[in-house]
Structure 1
Amino acid sequence: MTDRIEPPSAADTPPAPRPPRWWLLLGRDRLAAVAAAVLTLVLLVALSGRLFIGDRAQRQDLRASLRPPSLDHGVHGLLGTDVLGRSVLARLVDAAGTTLSVAVPAVLCSLVIGSALGLWAGYHGGVREGVTMRVADVILSFPSLLIAVVVLYVFAPSAMNIVLILAVTRVPVYLRTARAESAELRSRLFVDAARTFGTPSRKIIYWHVLPIVLPTLLTVATLDFCFVMLTESSLSFLGIGIQPPDVSWGLMVAQGRQYLGTAWWIAVLPGVAIVLTTVSATVLAAWARLATDPAQRWRLTLPRKRRGATAVPTEMMQ
């Protein structure tokens, strides 16, 4: 009589390997880790830097006008002074808070409004989708920078007006992205199953569609943050953005452009801050897109020399 072979029990089955933590993945990518460190530093400076500089960003000293960067006059003279003797280091710290206080709210407002409308229109389709997309097309037909210039020229330039204008002009970016993703997901089997069991549409969108679309939206938001910050800097450079006595990086570049031949640090250093912040956000967005996609996350676990390969690992094909 042959012995019966018992199937393996659940207790004998080895547990599935857990995906690596996001900070471990970030540590394996040196470029993304440096970008994250730069953005973290900028955020910390923007949030708490003003507590340490006091009124140094606005304090004038004509005897210290156009001093070059050095340590001879203390920490505040490390990056030199402008034509009114104000510390460029203190003004960079103060401008970081102003620039992020415009860019971050504008991106968050456009992300929330555009994503909500796009998910709603893409899931329901029909007339609602058509009307929503035509409104987005109308907004996109006008360059966002041109709209901002016209509106800020008619109304008083202020941080609140800049946030509102940039938020409205960037809504179609998230609306179109969310609409495309939601329209593709509404015919998936898990959405049909939830609809069959009588789940309301708003709960299907929130619990089933949004988690899948969210990584793409966050990646778009990170890239859009760069565009919004550059737009704010451009408006301040043109003189219709942030107004004195407030200061932003774009306004610092505008105020220092006439001294490029004699005091380059006034305009170059805030320009470097803008470039470093936007490049770091772009690099981190590319990393986050891979880290949040289960189908692409394995690329981050490979050695850096092999990440350019397009072959799928053998274990993923089984």
Structure 2
Amino acid sequence: MSEGITMPGEEHSAAPASGTEAAAPAPAPGTEAAPNPRGARTSRWLRMLGRDRAAAVGAVILGLVALVALFGPLVIGDRAQRQDLDASLRPPSLSDGVYGLLGTDVLGRSVLARLVEAAATTLSVAVPAVLCSLAVGSALGLWAGYHGGRRESLVMRVADVILSFPSLLIAVVVLYVFSPSALNIVLILAVTRIPVYLRTARAEAAELRSRLFVDAARTFGTPSRKIIYWHILPIALPTLLTVATLDFCFVMLTESSLSFLGIGIQPPEVSWGLMVAQGRQYLQTAWWITVLPGLAIVLTTVSATVLAAWARIATDPAQRWRLTLPTKRRGASAAVPPELIP
């Protein structure tokens, strides 16, 4: 055979015999490298979020609140606790600089600085409580829903016992007996919110355990913990995260209610609910002390609720097409698949 002819398959067998691998061929001039799948997925989610203006605004507000809670206390220092009785109950104005932009309270402390520090305190209670209840409740619910039988009955009866008592009443009783601190509030709220995730995860696992891919994994001898982790959890996770986003609103409002009643966050610490409680007697003369932290609570909870509704649709493959419609046609065509839309 002549030297210029190459038999089929010989180009694959011509790899170098040494232990080093051949260098990847450089892309031809004028061609671009393949896009990063993770970057493409992120850009797709951002485009879907941008199509829903309400969800985009909610995401921006929550992002700003998170940034303020993380870095705000480092910027203001002790400004939130600094008193100036000569500046008591000053209305919002620019004459006193940036810290007087939202006025002062009865002790002359900057309301702006206290709002920033209160954001960090409120989120430091709500976020750990939601994460703890999400982790424990989801783990127990997936385990009980997958195995069923007595395990499921035992776990569900424990959830029923916890749900039989109002969470706010339990928090009031426990915090009245023990010292009201941020750690105790986190533990109480986490325990009382576990049944929410437990029942949701149990329902998801009970429905998925009879699916074909789970039966196939079980046939090949895959341990149950790996089936739960690799096959059931990824499908149930979007629903659990949506529930967690909504539950974040409930936990934050509960913390604000406890602080308003005087058994939550205690001075010299400050939270949004405590600010509302401290300023309620000056509502007619200094409305900004109560209205501004109340407005912060409303904006944060509404933003989280709107974002949770968007996330529920975005993570559901059967409903995700709704977010691809133009805003004007989304309401009228909400129940019509895209292939049937004229």
- Aligned equivalent of 1:84, options 107, 130, 138: 107
- Amino acid of the structure 1 residue aligned with 2:173: V
* 1:315 to partner: Cα distance: 7.6
In the other structure, the counterpart of 2:277 is 254
* 1:28 to partner: Cα distance: 1.1
- Aligned equivalent of 1:206, options 220, 224, 229: 229
1:282 aligns with 2:305: yes
CA offsets 1:228-286 (integer angstroms, 9 cap, x no match): 00000000000000000000000000000000010000000000000000000000000
In the other structure, the counterpart of 1:122 is 145
- Amino acid of the structure 2 residue aligned with 1:215: P
In the other structure, the counterpart of 2:31 is none
- Aligned equivalent of 1:131, options 147, 154, 176: 154
Matches within 5 A, 1:67-82: 67-82=90-105
1:197 aligns with 2:220: yes
In the other structure, the counterpart of 1:7 is none
Q: How far apart in 2 are the matches of 1:99 and 1:120? A: 32
Give the SS at the match of 1:131.
helix
The size of the alignment, in residue pairs, is 300
* 1:71 to partner: Cα distance: 0.3
Q: How far apart in 2 are the matches of 1:312 and 1:188? A: 25
* 1:30 to partner: Cα distance: 0.9
Q: How far apart in 2 are the matches of 1:69 and 1:169? A: 40
Q: TM-score, normalised by structure 2?
A: 0.86
* 1:305 to partner: Cα distance: 2.0
1:314 aligns with 2:339: yes
Q: How far apart in 2 are the matches of 1:45 and 1:66? A: 24
Q: Percent identity?
A: 85
CA offsets 1:151-180 (integer angstroms, 9 cap, x no match): 000000000000000000000000000000
In the other structure, the counterpart of 1:297 is 320
Q: How far apart in 2 are the matches of 1:306 and 1:289? A: 20
* 1:313 to partner: Cα distance: 2.2
In the other structure, the counterpart of 1:147 is 170
Q: TM-score, normalised by structure 1?
A: 0.93
- Asked which structure has the greater CA Rg, the reply is 2
Q: How far apart in 1 are the matches of 2:73 and 2:340? A: 52
In the other structure, the counterpart of 2:125 is 102
1:40 aligns with 2:70: no
Q: How far apart in 1 are the matches of 2:109 and 2:238? A: 43
- Amino acid of the structure 2 residue aligned with 1:259: Y
- Aligned equivalent of 1:242, options 244, 252, 265: 265
Q: How far apart in 1 are the matches of 2:241 and 2:328? A: 27
CA offsets 1:28-76 (integer angstroms, 9 cap, x no match): 1111110000000000000000111111100000000000000000000
Q: How far apart in 1 are the matches of 2:308 and 2:251? A: 15
In the other structure, the counterpart of 1:11 is none
- Aligned equivalent of 1:162, options 178, 185, 188: 185
- Amino acid of the structure 1 residue aligned with 2:236: V
Q: How far apart in 2 are the matches of 1:113 and 1:35? A: 28
CA offsets 1:76-104 (integer angstroms, 9 cap, x no match): 00000000000000000000000000000
Query: Which runs of no fewer than 5 residues in structure 1 stay unpaired?
Result: 1-17
1:28 aligns with 2:51: yes
